[in-house]
Amino acid sequence: MNEQNVHSIIQPHPSTSPILLGIKRASLAYRHFSERLEKFLPIFTVISFMAGIGLSILSTRVGTVVTDGMSTFVDLYGYFAPFAIFIILAPSLARIIEAGRGRFAS
């Protein structure tokens, strides 16, 4: 997406506020940036992975912080996951049971 296309997409309406126009431009800039970044994402991932391994070998404190963070994440996930699953599945199961009154419900 070149700059001429971006300016042709953003045709300000006379009643458009400058804030909304700025948000629209920022959104288009972010989309353009993310589309370019996606091409190199596997490379960034491999480099970040190797840098993380190297940093954790050099500094045990970094490894400890990462280990503690992951442990906390897993503990919180174990606590919140049942509630999230219930909140997501309860309405779906209720609809399935209601739709199939003759087959599933007693």
Q: Decide if 32 is inside a domain.
A: no
Provide the domain count of the chain: 1
- pTM score, whole prediction: 0.40
For 13-26, give one letter per residue: b (16+ CB within 10 A) or e.
eeeeeeeeeeeeee
Predicted confidence at residue 3, as pLDDT, reads: 54
Strand boundaries in 1-106, DSSP class E = none
As averages over each run of 10 residues, the pLDDT of the chain (106 residues) reads 54 67 87 89 92 83 87 92 90 82 56
Tell whether 75 is covered by a domain: yes
The pLDDT tens digits for 77-95 are: 999 999 988 998 988 888 8
Q: Which helix (H) or strand (E) holds 67?
A: helix 60-99
Can you give the pLDDT at residue 71? 95
Q: Which residue segment(s) compose the domain that 81 sits in? A: 60-106
User: Quick check: is 73 in a domain?
Assistant: yes
